[in-house]
Structure 1
């Protein structure tokens, strides 16, 4: 069953479905068949931007659907990994990178002025202390530069729960991330890498249990869905906002030649292997976390 908010995000731009690539005629053919089955009016204009509206609608829907069965879960948009228990240590590098040397040097200068009239030995000790602190700061900076400050992309939608025994706002403990989602309305070659990179970094950088991580998309083309979801290991799966209408559209459009039949068969294998899942599967699985 399509996501409750999917239809409101669909529309046409210059006669093309807003899921379709303007440079790909097959993408447009499939997009028209897909939108017809989905029930998108042909005179409906596409929203100017989808991303923000989509993440807000998905968060609202998950909050509503989780309330009766999983009220312990929180759902939020645009979250940094460092906010969550398994990745909170990443904030340590930012703390280490903070430069306290100006404040320390100011205090030393004041100390030096205060001790100048007491004899030559104290100023010499202050100068020695300055040199020691400068050397220590140099070593700290070198370590920070070696570690770098690269961090994963933000999670478009994050699902979390409180860390026992107290919630974050009471104890200061970060939430535990149970699921994260990368939202890609449509797929292009340059957009395919983001979810994979995010998933690989989340797996490598976690301290504790790996959250469920998946891409969510409205892309109709089997080829692009295959490139995202076939066996990379960086994603648990790919969720589609309207899988049932898409299956019908693919079976209707991909029949003319061997290449289309091959793509159709690959697409159906992804569905059968649960590499490609429906939005309802996302809701049902999250409720178990």
Structure 2
């Protein structure tokens, strides 16, 4: 009796998209800066003044680099361009990955960069507040600057409200009774103009002390100033030092979780360097559900 032929294995989508994400970052964002404490240059997501940061970054870079990318000459990339390209790369990865999870999270979704949260249903009142504060100096003195309230997210994930036709597609769920389901914002009949903010994603190419508090403040504003459910609030980073990642990952009540652009590669680099202190901290954040890989993010957004 002949054994049945083995089905040819197909490449998996998320690993392929992750590889594509890394290829863009490697080719369009990562550059080798001259100097640094090791005297051999350093990848531009490292702190050139920190021996540990440079060593870890080189370990990650070697795991992402190819022979071609390591040898060809490339143009310089400014700090602003690095941040913008990191946002674009992360957005592209999420758009492609989230599309393959549509059967798990059906609906009409919108992903974009640089969106003011006052554009969304839970925060639409902030547009009025911002306008009032700009007009009235006395109010501004009491409540502070309008920019303190209105956050511009690096990446947003939003869902559009649904029509009654969609709600009733399988069964007669709602009708025209004005007292039934009259206030839910998920129903387009009640909320014809504002998408619902599902997630706010902060992209931090690196983490420095002067940026840490800004990330937490934006997250707390999203929580405190909402009318309705809180969105997912997460950060994505390429920071190589676990101690600096911990500055935004540890703690509760603001960020849901932090996602690293290359978490397995970061861990392998720490093992290679035998840096047990940083490795212990990294594992603590992972096991404590405060740090995950970028490949986890599309699935977590589907929750």
Regarding TM over 0.5, the answer is yes
1:159 corresponds to: 157
Cα RMSD (Å) of the superposition? Answer: 2.4
1:5 corresponds to: 21
Matched, 1:268 2:283: yes
TM-score by length of 2: 0.72
1:122 corresponds to: none
1:124 corresponds to: none
Deviations 1:174-222 (A, max 9, x none): 1100101110011111111121111111111111101000110011111
- Check 1:36–1:205 CA distance in 2 against 1; reply closer, same or farther (3 A cut): same
Instruction: For residue 142 of structure 1, give the secondary structure of its aligned residue in structure 2.
Output: helix
| 1: CA distance, partners of 2:62 / 2:134 | 56
- Check 1:98–1:37 CA distance in 2 against 1; reply closer, same or farther (3 A cut): closer
- Residue in structure 2 matching 1:63, options 95, 115, 127: 95
| 2: CA distance, partners of 1:3 / 1:147 | 46
- Give the helix-richer structure, 1 or 2: 1
- Residue in structure 2 matching 1:42, options 70, 94, 107: 70
| 2: CA distance, partners of 1:286 / 1:72 | 14
Residue 163 of structure 1 and its aligned partner are, at CA, apart by 2.3
2:206 corresponds to: 186
2:258 corresponds to: 238
1:287 corresponds to: 302
Higher mean displacement: 27-36 or 54-63: 54-63
| 2: CA distance, partners of 1:141 / 1:219 | 40
Instruction: For residue 20 of structure 2, give the secondary structure of its aligned residue in structure 1.
Output: coil
- Residue in structure 2 matching 1:208, options 216, 219, 228: 228
1:18 corresponds to: 44
Residue 271 of structure 1 and its aligned partner are, at CA, apart by 1.3
1:142 corresponds to: 138
TM-score by length of 1: 0.75
- Check 1:283–1:66 CA distance in 2 against 1; reply closer, same or farther (3 A cut): same
Matched, 1:222 2:242: yes
| 1: CA distance, partners of 2:77 / 2:238 | 14
| 1: CA distance, partners of 2:118 / 2:279 | 40
- Check 1:97–1:69 CA distance in 2 against 1; reply closer, same or farther (3 A cut): same
| 1: CA distance, partners of 2:238 / 2:19 | 10
| 2: CA distance, partners of 1:97 / 1:195 | 23
2:84 corresponds to: 52
Q: Structure 1: which 5+ runs fail to align? A: 100-139
- Check 1:161–1:142 CA distance in 2 against 1; reply closer, same or farther (3 A cut): same
- Check 1:12–1:141 CA distance in 2 against 1; reply closer, same or farther (3 A cut): closer
| 1: CA distance, partners of 2:57 / 2:134 | 50
User: Which structure carries more relative contact order (alpha carbon 8 Å, separation 6+)?
Assistant: 1
Q: Structure 2: which 5+ runs fail to align? A: 1-14, 35-40, 165-186
Instruction: For residue 86 of structure 1, give the secondary structure of its aligned residue in structure 2.
Output: helix
Query: What is the count of residue pairs matched by the alignment?
Result: 241
Residue 39 of structure 1 and its aligned partner are, at CA, apart by 2.5
